[in-house]
């Protein structure tokens, strides 16, 4: 099968995000200019550079009560900071609760019953029991082609790792089994890990 996106795919559901998988989930916490916290999962998320460490996430839709985007992007525009929280398999249900569309300013931490902690380097909340959290300062917001498509880039200025996830000096993902996004309504979880050495190692 071949199709051009501009012509449509002819399938019951768009296969694009089922092809680009698995995708890590960035559970983005942010705070608006009035000090109200927000928490939302984004599957268009990844690390983009080592030195300095940088990450990005993309928002691809808008809310009626926010000007042309969603709460996360609007908040980050206001404050210039955000935090990426890693989602473990055990948090799949509460993570899903935070994907609901709530009125602007309503706290998803409270709605989902998630304990929050304050970040160290930025004025933002984080998921207290997350396996890891990355405190970020905004570097740029890029408007992408298409309606309400924005990519948010940030430099990581603080890193939290849960103690039980650090084993023999390494961050061990098998200790918490990170959740990843597939297409449609599907998810997967990382349980098996293997190592490949590069030819130049």
**Overall number of domains in the chain:** 1
pLDDT of residue 149: 98
Does the residue 12 lie in any domain? Answer: no
The confidence band for 171, taking pLDDT boundaries of 50, 70 and 90, is: very high
Give the pLDDT mean for 159-169. Answer: 98
Enter the tokens of residue 35: 């000090």
CB of 147 within 8 A of CB of 137? no
Distance CA 27, CA 86 (A): 6
Give the percent of the chain with pLDDT over 90: 100
Does the residue 7 lie in any domain? Answer: no
Does the residue 199 lie in any domain? Answer: no
Does the residue 37 lie in any domain? Answer: yes
Does the residue 130 lie in any domain? Answer: yes
- pLDDT 10s digits, 129-139: 999 999 999 99
Q: What's the whole-number average pLDDT of the chain?
A: 97
pLDDT of residue 143: 97
pLDDT of residue 118: 98
The confidence band for 16, taking pLDDT boundaries of 50, 70 and 90, is: very high
Does the residue 195 lie in any domain? Answer: no
Indicate which CATH number applies to the domain containing 76: 2.30.110.10
Give the pLDDT mean for 149-170. Answer: 98
pLDDT of residue 188: 98
Does the residue 108 lie in any domain? Answer: yes
The confidence band for 79, taking pLDDT boundaries of 50, 70 and 90, is: very high
Distance CA 113, CA 28 (A): 16
- pLDDT 10s digits, 56-78: 999 999 999 998 999 999 999 99
pLDDT of residue 163: 98
Host domain of residue 90: 24-189
pLDDT of residue 183: 96
Does the residue 180 lie in any domain? Answer: yes
pLDDT of residue 82: 98
The confidence band for 184, taking pLDDT boundaries of 50, 70 and 90, is: very high
pLDDT of residue 40: 98
The confidence band for 97, taking pLDDT boundaries of 50, 70 and 90, is: very high
């Amino acid at each position: 099968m071949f199709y051009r996106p501009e012509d449509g795919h002819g399938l019951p559901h768009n296969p694009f995000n089922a092809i680009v998988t698995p995708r890590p989930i960035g559970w983005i916490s942010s705070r608006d200019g009035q000090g109200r916290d927000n928490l939302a999962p984004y599957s268009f998320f990844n690390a983009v550079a080592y030195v300095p460490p940088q990450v990005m996430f993309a928002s691809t839709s808008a809310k009626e009560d926010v000007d042309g985007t969603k709460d996360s992007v609007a908040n980050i525009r206001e404050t210039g900071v955000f935090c990426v929280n890693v989602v473990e398999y055990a948090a799949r249900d509460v993570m899903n609760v935070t994907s609901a569309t709530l009125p602007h300013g309503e706290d998803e931490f409270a709605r989902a019953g998630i304990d929050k902690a304050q970040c160290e380097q930025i004025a933002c909340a984080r998921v207290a029991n997350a396996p890891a959290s990355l405190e970020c300062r905004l570097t740029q917001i890029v408007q992408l082609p298409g309606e309400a498509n924005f990519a948010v880039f940030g430099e990581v200025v603080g890193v939290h790792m849960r103690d039980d996830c650090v084993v023999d000096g390494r961050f061990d993902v098998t200790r918490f089994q990170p959740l990843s996004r597939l297409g449609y309504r599907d998810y997967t979880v990382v349980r098996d890990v293997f190592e490949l050495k590069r030819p130049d190692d």
